[in-house]
A and B are shown apart, each in its own frame.
Chain A
């Protein structure tokens, strides 16, 4: 293992110990008190966020990937420490190093060319274990190698990309890549964690970070929606149609059972943000039955209709009521968070 790899492992170990973006030089770390969360979260997809060289494990596991589209050939080659993205046609080729591999299971690459950032035209998809057109780029018909290489991003867009896949990369709306740490660390969500630890180190009670677990469904959706997109944002952007299945807070809010003041339908009722989502359908049954059962207790202060009890089954609810859908043109399946009774032949709701 080279020196760079050792340094990276050390960084991961620090991240695993729960040091936040506001990392204080103190004996206290998040893990001192919140060990379970601080140990599990860095290993989640959100905790990893992106892969930088030389730790691009996905690319290292796939030393050569190729794809053809619109007369262009895409090749991604990895020699272990470095990966290169090449697009070629009959007239020539353009090769760029892959510094930023966004994502964990599936990866899209942010490439730098002529002082600008580009979202790669092709991405790696775990299923079918190869390259495919990046979601959202399907309609682009490139006219040259640069356009074929990727889609140029605006300053705002690229700041949003880095802001949601890393910590410390955006300050005051501007990119500050020198301070980038891959993934979301504690301080990314828990604003004030650094000050909290400093005060503990100084032996004072100090300010406590906001208790995110006290947020109701609407507040939680708005919070998670900073990256997963809020209902308001999708409506204002008019992103209608099946492609919006990937914006879970939007889909969830359109569910008949979504009540903003009800904690039983908030994102974190089903998803532990310090762990990856459970893949088994049955893992969510107790969340559904918290409302949809004969003996579900009412929530104090909420005046909402009593939820109906499913006449078909009491288990694996999400397998029917949250169908998995593919985005048009993309290979990835997303669970549709617009919880509903799905009838054969029904169109995708909005």
Chain B
């Protein structure tokens, strides 16, 4: 992926330079001149010296961060953007770059938190920086187990026809729901991840012939790899939903701990009008993976439809806590509140759902 540094250098032209003494001004001018002349080592040295003398110089930290990032001196870049965001927490690009640096230094939890913060204000980043930040956020979301959000993001890169081994691996990890990063995949799993990535890529790209062929190869080569049958089941949902349950069952045979597969089976039963049969499956999914929003949701809606409203609300509230951006979870909670006669809660949750629906992207 391109890092888009050339464009980034222009990003903060609006950042105001503070007042400074003549000596400091001289240092600033020399740093800027070195930067303009593409003399990165000198520019880095001068910016370091300048921010030492003038620690509140916002622009200095910014360019020091950018130049260090460009030179792949990620620890220094991280330090510079950390100082920058301390001085001004309102510049989304500062948080985005801090997150990107942390990704490179292996501080993944902080990286995700800070990339999220870069997008939180809703202000637009420079388009090229935005793409890089979104891509890394998608990889980190997969690592964090937020597969659905990550998938939505990764899809946009596939739909634009971007071919990149890291993207393929990221798509593969996401498709198999392995909470890992491409660079950390063990050697023994790389072929599987790549194959799953290419399969999911063809599916997202809408190439049905290639997708069918890719699934045949994947299932033939890795019939007992965790996640493969679940991936195929989700594919079948669109084309042959009647065959989906058998694949979910196969997934649970080779991977009994797959709470997602169990939760989806429960949701299928509920959809078929048998919420009572969905309850035990969903209960086990939620017990096995209490931190999985889908499992809590499946259990919550099955309980709602079998009349166990108090318990349903507890699990739907958990689903919303785990994934506050999931519209379906909010809507189901609103319905459960309503059915339980919790008038004010239902009204509030309905309004929150509608607001979320308006603010988020539609389903296709």
Pairwise interchain contact B357-A235, C-beta atoms closer than 8 A:
yes
Q: With an 8 A cutoff between CB atoms, is B109 at the interface?
A: no
Partner of B347, one of A191, A231, A235, A256: A256
Within 8 A of B (CB), among A186-238: 191, 216-219, 222, 231-232, 235-238
- Residues from chain B with a CB closer than 8 A to the CB of A237 are 362-363
Residue numbers in A under 8 Å from B347 (CB-CB) = 256
Q: How long is the Cα–Cα vector from A174 to B242 in the complex, in angstroms?
A: 9
Q: Give the residues in chain A near B358, CB-CB below 8 Å.
A: 238, 240
Query: Residue A260 contacts which of B242, B331, B346, B357 (CB distance < 8 angstroms)?
Result: B346
A260-B363 contact in complex given A173-B241, A253-B350, A305-B343, C-beta closer than 8 Å = no
A33 within 8 A of B: no
Q: In the complex, which residues of chain B have a beta carbon less than 8 angstroms from the beta carbon of A173?
A: 241-242
B343 touches A218 (CB 8 A): no
Tell me if A279 counts as interface (CB < 8 A to partner B). Answer: no
Chain A residues with Cβ under 8 A from B328's Cβ? 232, 236
Contact A172 B242 (CB under 8 A): yes
Residue of B nearest to A240 (CB): B358
Q: Which residues of B contact A258 (CB under 8 A)?
A: 338
Asked whether A302 is an interface residue with its Cβ less than 8 Å from the other chain, the reply is yes
Tell me which residues across on chain B come within 8 A of A172, comparing CB atoms: 242
List the B side residues contacting A232 at CB < 8 Å. 328, 331-332, 334-335
Supposing A236-B357, A238-B357 touch, asked if A261 and B363 sit within 8 A by C-beta, the answer is no
Contact of A262 among B337, B341, B354 (CB under 8 A): B341
Interface of B is mostly: helix
A260 touching B241 in the complex, CB below 8 Å, given contacts A231-B350, A235-B327, A238-B357: no
Residues of A within 8 Å of B335, CB to CB, are 218, 222, 231-232, 260
- Interface 1/0 per residue, B334-352 and A, CB below 8 Å: 1101111101001100100
B353 at the A interface (CB under 8 A) = yes
Annotate A262-281 by CB proximity to B: 1 below 8 A, 0 otherwise: 10000000000000000000
- Tell me if B41 is interfacial: C-beta within 8 Å of chain A: no
Most buried by A among B331, B334, B341, B353: B341
Q: Flag B182-199 by CB within 8 Å of A: 1 or 0 each.
A: 000000000000000000
> Which range holds the interface residue count of chain B?
20 to 34
A304 to B343, CA, bound (A): 6
Q: Is A301 an interface residue (CB 8 A)?
A: yes
Task: Verify if B206 is at the interface (C-beta below 8 Å from A).
Answer: no
How close is B235's CB to chain A, nearest CB, in angstroms?
Answer: 15
In the complex, what residue of chain A is closest to B361 when comparing beta carbons? Answer: A238
Q: Does B18 contact A (CB under 8 A)?
A: no
Q: A173-B241, A256-B347 are in contact. Are A235 and B354 (CB under 8 A)?
A: yes
Interface positions of B from 151 to 167, Cβ below 8 Å from A: none
The chain B residue sitting closest to A303, CB to CB, is B341
Q: Which of B241, B339, B362 is A218 in contact with, Cβ under 8 Å?
A: B339
Interface residues of A in 47-64 (CB under 8 A from B): none
Known: A173-B241, A191-B273. A236 touches B327 (CB 8 A): yes
Are A261 and B339 closer than 8 Å at their CB atoms? yes
> Which residues of A are found within 8 Å of B273, using beta-carbon distances?
191
A305 to B347, CA, bound (A): 13
- Number of interface residues, chain A, beta carbon within 8 A: 30
Q: Which residues of B contact A216 (CB under 8 A)?
A: 339
- Expressed in whole angstroms, the minimum distance between the Cβ of A6 and any Cβ of chain B is 37
State the CA gap A302–B350 with chains docked (Å): 19
Chain A window 244-266, contacts with chain B (Cβ cutoff 8 Å), 1 for yes, 0 for no: 00000000011010111110000
Q: How many pairs of A and B residues are in contact by the CB < 8 Å rule?
A: 70
Rounded to whole Å, the gap between the CB of B105 and the closest CB of chain A is: 40
Report the Cα distance A232→B354, complex, angstroms: 10
| Contact of A91 with B by CB under 8 A | no
A218 CA to B340 CA, complexed, in Å: 9
Q: How far is the CA of A350 from the CA of B353 in the complex (A)?
A: 12
Least Cβ–Cβ distance between B361 and chain A, in angstroms: 9
CB B306 to nearest CB in A, in angstroms, measures 11
Instruction: Report yes or no: A302 in contact with B341, Cβ–Cβ below 8 A.
Output: yes
A222 / chain B contacts, CB cutoff of 8 Å: 335
**Residues of chain A contacted by B331 (CB below 8 angstroms):** 231-232, 235-236
Closest residue of B by beta carbon distance from A260: B338
Q: How far is the CB of B159 from chain A (nearest CB, A)?
A: 19
- In the bound complex, residues from chain A placing their C-beta under 8 Å from that of B340 are 260-261
CA distance A222 to B241 in the complex (A): 23
Question: How close is A40's CB to chain B, nearest CB, in angstroms?
Answer: 26
Residues of B within 8 A of A191 (CB): 273
**Which chain A positions have C-beta within 8 A of B346?**
259-260
**Distance in angstroms between the alpha carbons of A174 and B328 in the assembled complex:** 26
Query: In the complex, what's the smallest C-beta–C-beta distance from A244 to chain B, in angstroms?
Result: 11
The residues of A that contact B337 with a CB separation of less than 8 Å are 260
Give Cα A309–Cα B242 distance, bound, in whole angstroms: 52
Complex CA–CA separation, A135 to B177 (angstroms)? 41
Residue of B nearest to A226 (CB): B273
Q: How far is the CB of B298 from chain A (nearest CB, A)?
A: 15
CB-CB under 8 A from A301, the residues of chain B are: 341
User: B334 to chain A: which residues have CB within 8 Å?
Assistant: 231-232
CB-CB nearest in chain A for B347: A256
Q: CA A254 – CA B331 in complex, angstroms?
A: 12
Q: Specify the chain A residue showing the minimal Cβ separation from B309.
A: A261
Instruction: Beyond A174-B242, A219-B339, list 17 extra A-B contacts (CB 8 Å).
Output: A172-B242, A218-B335, A222-B335, A231-B350, A232-B328, A232-B334, A235-B331, A235-B357, A238-B362, A240-B358, A259-B338, A259-B343, A260-B340, A261-B341, A303-B343, A304-B343, A305-B343
- Using CB atoms and an 8 Å cutoff, list the residues of chain A in contact with chain B: 172-174, 191, 216-219, 222, 231-232, 235-238, 240, 253-254, 256, 258-262, 301-305, 350
A–B pairs, 8, beta carbons within 8 Å: A216-B339, A217-B338, A218-B335, A235-B357, A236-B328, A254-B350, A258-B338, A259-B346
